[in-house]
Amino acid sequence: MLRLRQDPTLIQARVRGVPIQIHASAMLLPAMAGLAGSISGGLRGALFLSGFLVLLNFCGALHEAGHAGMARLLGHRVTRVRMSGVGMYVQVSHPANAGRWDELLIASGGPVCTALLTACLGWASLPALAARGLLIVADRDAMAMLAILAGSNLLLTVFNLLPVPPMDGAHMLGALLAVYLRPAQASRLVSTFGQATIIAILLVAVALGANLLILGTVWFACATLFILSYRTRHARPAMSQVNAG
């Protein structure tokens, strides 16, 4: 009888002693994008769309490097970096003498890195955007790739700053509240505020008749539940841990 692994990890490696894990599901979106691109644009369309997803994943890796770099700069230990089909996250172990602002700084490291990357991509694609306008997205060349990556990173940065667990916005809000409140109180407030945010987005989407936004919000809620349940099942005992996504 064939038994599937409960946690199929495609690639495992170590970078400066930090375990790097790439889940098999991380290859699903590039493969699907390549298939969709081949239907409308043949081989060139397949290569363009699958290449875009691969580069977007690389941008996500740089985002996580921002978290990990800030953690190491502050003297914290990065225990794991994981990438899957629903996103990436960095697991950090806090020392007993961690500063009261450390968690906020670590949570901010990723968004700051992504914002700088978005600015660089936007600046590089600005001449082509000025010459060709928004029609550049229909072209399958290097400048179109830069422009689409810049726009996608901008949208993902805004999305990631939503105060909804497990997004960085929720980590930042929780870390800020934990400076003035007990950690348990801060966690409850962030959880309640996150649920209210998802409900508010759904209500706005229904009012506007935005079916795509409704589907995106439902997917986001399901992905959030999956990530949280996965982290609960695979949590390891440690002095103090935080996951920065």
Would you write out the chain's pLDDT as a tens digit for each of its 245 residues? Answer: 334 344 555 667 777 777 787 777 777 777 776 777 677 777 777 788 888 888 888 888 889 889 888 988 888 888 888 877 667 778 888 777 777 788 889 989 999 999 999 999 989 988 887 777 766 767 777 888 888 889 889 988 888 888 887 788 888 988 888 888 888 888 888 888 877 887 777 777 666 665 555 555 555 555 555 444 444 433 333 334 455 66
1 within a domain of the structure (yes/no): no
146 within a domain of the structure (yes/no): yes
2 within a domain of the structure (yes/no): no
Helix runs in the chain, H state only: 28-73, 102-132, 142-160, 168-180, 183-208, 211-233
91, 241 contact by CB (below 8 A): yes
Domain of 192, in residue numbers: 9-244
Which residues lie below 8 Å from residue 229, measured CB to CB, with a gap of 6+?
Answer: none
154 within a domain of the structure (yes/no): yes
For residue 114, the cross-strand partners are none
46, 38 contact by CB (below 8 A): yes
101 within a domain of the structure (yes/no): yes
120 within a domain of the structure (yes/no): yes
The CA radius of gyration of the chain, in Å to the nearest whole number, is 19
Q: Is 205 helix (H, G, I), strand (E, B) or coil?
A: helix
3 within a domain of the structure (yes/no): no
CA distance 61 to 146: 17
142 within a domain of the structure (yes/no): yes
Domain tally, the chain: 1
